[in-house]
Amino acid sequence: MSSRETDVHASEDAAPWQELASLVENGETSGLQQFVGELPASELALTMSRLTAEQQSAVVTALEPIDAASLVEQLPHAQALELIERLEPETAAAILEELPSNEQADLIGEMDDVDAEAILRRMDPSDAESARALSHYEDDVAGGMMVTEFLRYSDQWTVTQVVDDLRQRADEYRDYDVQYAYACDAEGRLTGVLRLRDLLLARPAQRIADLMIRQPVSVRDSTTLDELADLFERHHYLGVPVVDSEGRLVGVVREAAVAEAWSERQDNDYLKSQGIVGGEELRSMPLLRRSSRRLAWLSVNIVLNIIAASVIAVFQDTLSSVIALAVFLPIISDMSGCSGNQAVAVSMRELSLGLIRPHEVWRVWCQEVVLGIVNGLALGLLVAAVAFAWKGNLYLGLVVGLALCLNTIVAVSIGGLIPLVLKQLKVDPAVASGPLLTTITDMCGFFLILGIATLLLSRLAG
Amino acid sequence: MSSRETDVHASEDAAPWQELASLVENGETSGLQQFVGELPASELALTMSRLTAEQQSAVVTALEPIDAASLVEQLPHAQALELIERLEPETAAAILEELPSNEQADLIGEMDDVDAEAILRRMDPSDAESARALSHYEDDVAGGMMVTEFLRYSDQWTVTQVVDDLRQRADEYRDYDVQYAYACDAEGRLTGVLRLRDLLLARPAQRIADLMIRQPVSVRDSTTLDELADLFERHHYLGVPVVDSEGRLVGVVREAAVAEAWSERQDNDYLKSQGIVGGEELRSMPLLRRSSRRLAWLSVNIVLNIIAASVIAVFQDTLSSVIALAVFLPIISDMSGCSGNQAVAVSMRELSLGLIRPHEVWRVWCQEVVLGIVNGLALGLLVAAVAFAWKGNLYLGLVVGLALCLNTIVAVSIGGLIPLVLKQLKVDPAVASGPLLTTITDMCGFFLILGIATLLLSRLAG
């Protein structure tokens, strides 16, 4: 750790992006090539993001396409997309051709159509065709995650034919990931999977149809991320073949691609739950884009907040008689939000682990309400003691304690249910759970504390 | 989707856990075996979690160890751990032996020492030794993620020797994941990596030392998850060999294991940010454990809340003169929390993508403060308009609008910085950012609205 710290401080003298910028300005292509090649992966995204748009374009244009592609692959998706869109179509096409087919398709799919067409027209026709086909798939189905670089042989071939092909096209295959070959019939339908290890142990004249695993596990191109995650949890495959509606082999989904897509989804859910809803935000994006995306969510929230707070306005008379209550309004609001968010988080997680189903509202309610009673009593007693100690009025303690206790029960039960109900309504629970929860618990909490206070007003104002 | 819905409703009549429970009660071992084998992965965790502890133990005891192991692997970690700990040590040992070495070690490492010893003593001595060794590693370093099932050969062997070994031990190797073989010298130090594909193309008498890739990429057993994620982002390896301090080959880390560990960490960060701090919570856990874990975090929070709200108490006189201000206290508190949390989320993400370094406090502050001014003005104007419309007092609008505007600027700049500062102080930002943020923004917000109101009191109370 300490050596890393030192590095960081040393780099403040001559930051890598300054070095890179000066290499670009001076047109030192070979120095640039070497510099980028030697920069640790963990520094690359940072370094590129500190350059101006023009400098970034100059860097990738100066690199060999294969090196530029390797750089682009290591950037966060939003950063890579912006970079590629700004390049000359020729340069962009040359770089895209060096990317794995699924990343090609991801980038092409998110560009505007004119940019995408300009690039596709300049790519190798077969690469372009495959990128076009892949870019129509959603990101979270097998078709959107698969690669089209895999070994495919006719099931009529012999071991010798396959080994000869492997030998002849060794260069092309060097970067192929999955260590299986797939066997197809004359119509291109998947008929078997061949482990390279089994080739090693076979007689040269043997037909691969006799060697392969028949009726192999495969998935449709429309298989969802959830289903793929289940599959890879169940079986230790490195990848599975993907077939279209006719059973024709169209690609291979790797286990690692599924794990990455899963982690991306979690990442997005976290951002959404914290109010970054409109998509990825990088601080290198233009101010107004960042600001308006955040505001879009905040302005919905403030309207909900004003609605909730209007409950307080109704009880103005009570409040002016017992001004001490005003101190406890934000406490009730914050604490109920916290308790409710814990229940939301547990429900979100149990949903994603498949431990509850969206319709099991009653079951979750029962499990949360008992916990709400226990925690509500604990928190209520604590805040009641504080109120009593402050004002010496037992009834004030009773009002705030009772209100917090009851509202905690409301918050955890509602918090537990909201993700289930939103899921049933096909609304994204990561976005909507938080605002919905706090609006309900605020209204209910203000109503409880001020309503109970109104009932006991003679004891409080005394 | 609609077919899935139908399934869910159909299963309400005879839920899979009811069927499974009755198979267990009636001791129908073969029916049980078949039932578990046919249950979709997505139903397995749910089904098991609905059985009593005794029924769960009976299920895995009735299964063949290899089938039980495959079931255990598909359960969420906390659920698997509880299940294994409750089993007879003999049964547990038999099941653990069928698990990959890293999962063995994960489970053993988290059991209490007596349970772990009882199980290890009943395992095959070499399996037990490897599990013991692996369980000493932290979960988030290469040693804790690696498997010890891999192909290792002396670099003096010939292709024929290797192929013979592959043939003879084909059964044992069937479940090995990584499709490389590793070559070591007489001291067990890693000297090369051999692609099985290259074996296929080699002459039988060739020594593997002449065939292998020399000075292969390898990592130390102490390499962190972040460093591994960087490595796999940079290179398309399926796995990398892991060496100890002497350069001896001790295991292989798979890309998929790294992606999974990464996604687990994000998952935990999300839970922590929502106040589930003490570790995974499943609703099947005992009530008091769930309740006390949640309370531990809530009770810190309520103390912080009370401290923040005490600012309101200081301004009681102002508040009782202008009771309308009480309506805006929770609005200021909630909205500043929301704005601040957005900035926290963006910083957390930029930290994890490596786009900012923890010491770059000044840079982040500059980027957030301009955004804070834009969003603060927008939100401030909105709430000022509402206040004016409600009470017809321009000064009330001015007070609440100005307070919200200023506090939004405070909230986003503090929110952006908190994760960086906590990281520098080696405090987990996922846990501490939220409570710290809301305490500071609440205090500041209450002080701003009530302080400005006190200055303008003559205009407000008029």
| Interval A260-304: pLDDT, tens | 888 888 888 889 999 998 778 888 888 998 999 999 999 999 999
Work out the pLDDT band at A424, boundaries 50, 70, 90: very high
Whole-complex ipTM:
0.87
Give percent helix, percent strand, percent coil of chain A, each to the nearest 5: 70, 10, 25
First to last CA, chain A: 62
Residue-level pLDDT at B423 = 94
Chain mean position to CA B371: 31
- B65 and B165 co-located in one domain: no
Examine the pLDDT at A176 and tell me if it is beyond 90. no
> pLDDT of A296-326, one tens digit each?
999 999 999 999 999 999 999 999 999 999 9
> pLDDT of B190-248, one tens digit each?
999 988 778 877 888 889 898 898 989 999 999 999 899 888 887 778 889 999 999 99
Q: Which CATH number do you get for residue A184?
A: 3.10.580.10
- Least confident window among A195-204, A239-248, B69-78, B269-278: A195-204
Work out the pLDDT band at A8, boundaries 50, 70, 90: very low
Q: Which CATH number do you get for residue B430?
A: 1.10.357.20
What pTM, to 2 d.p., does this model score?
0.87
Question: Quick check: is A310 in a domain?
Answer: yes
Chain mean position to CA A8: 29
Asked if residue B423 lies in contact with residue B361, where contact means CB atoms within 8 angstroms, the answer is no
Give percent helix, percent strand, percent coil of chain B, each to the nearest 5: 70, 10, 25
Question: Quick check: is B95 in a domain?
Answer: yes
Residue-level pLDDT at B462 = 57
CA distances from A331 to A60, A392, A440 (A): 53, 19, 15
Residue-level pLDDT at B184 = 94
Q: Which of A272, A297, A326 is the last residue of a domain?
A: A272
Total beta-carbon pairs less than 8 A apart between chain A and chain B: 322
Q: Which domain holds residue A187?
A: 151-272
Question: Quick check: is B170 in a domain?
Answer: yes
- Name the residue in chain B with its Cα closest to that of A48: B355
- A307 and A449 co-located in one domain: yes
Query: Low-confidence residues of chain B, pLDDT below 70?
Result: 1-13, 174-178, 462
Examine the pLDDT at A420 and tell me if it is beyond 60. yes
Which tokens is B31 given? 């029916």
Residue-level pLDDT at B388 = 96
Residue-level pLDDT at A13 = 57
B438: nearest CB among A232, A334, A355: A334
Which tokens is B412 given? 């986003």
- A26 and A121 co-located in one domain: yes
Asked if residue A189 lies in contact with residue A246, where contact means CB atoms within 8 angstroms, the answer is yes
Examine the pLDDT at A111 and tell me if it is beyond 70. yes
- B434 and B295 co-located in one domain: yes
Could you give the CA distance from residue A311 to residue A444 in angstroms, rounded to a whole number?
Answer: 9
- Name the residue in chain B with its Cα closest to that of A1: B224
CA distances from A5 to A458, B73, B300, B419, B420 (A): 64, 39, 32, 17, 14
Find the angle CA(B6)-CA(B10)-CA(B11) to the nearest 5 degrees: 120
Residue-level pLDDT at B40 = 80
- Name the residue in chain A with its Cα closest to that of B288: A371
Contact at CB, A345 and B374, closer than 8 angstroms: no
Which tokens is B253 given? 């880390």
Question: Quick check: is B222 in a domain?
Answer: yes
CA distances from B404 to A324, B297, B407, B408 (A): 23, 28, 5, 6
B43 contacts in A (CB within 8 Å)?
A: 354
CA distances from A320 to A314, A450, B318 (A): 12, 11, 11
Burial A3-33 (b: 16+ CB within 10 A, else e): eeeeeeeebeeeebbebbbebbeeeeeebbe
Examine the pLDDT at A3 and tell me if it is beyond 50. no
Residue-level pLDDT at A178 = 54
- A158 and A128 co-located in one domain: no
Could you give the CA distance from residue B283 to residue A371 in angstroms, rounded to a whole number?
Answer: 10
Measured over all CA atoms, what is the biggest interatomic distance in chain B, rounded to whole angstroms?
102
- B255 and B343 co-located in one domain: no
Examine the pLDDT at A43 and tell me if it is beyond 90. no
Q: Which of B105, B136, B167 is the last residue of a domain?
A: B136
CA nearest to A315, candidates A452, A411, A460: A452
B301 contacts in A (CB within 8 Å)?
A: 334-335, 338
Give me Rg for the CA atoms of chain B.
30
Asked if residue A230 lies in contact with residue A353, where contact means CB atoms within 8 angstroms, the answer is no
Give the mutation candidate from B197, B282, B295 for the A interface (greatest A CB count, under 10 A): B197
Report the SS3 class of residue A183: strand
Q: What is the mean pLDDT of chain A?
A: 89
- A315 and A420 co-located in one domain: yes
- B210 and B355 co-located in one domain: no
CA nearest to A74, candidates B183, B387, B281, B231: B231
Strand partners, A154: A184
Question: Quick check: is B362 in a domain?
Answer: yes
Report the SS3 class of residue B224: strand
Asked if residue B147 lies in contact with residue B251, where contact means CB atoms within 8 angstroms, the answer is yes
Give the mutation candidate from B346, B412, B433 for the A interface (greatest A CB count, under 10 A): B346
Query: Structural domain tally of chain B?
Result: 3
Q: Which of A237, A272, A307 is the last residue of a domain?
A: A272
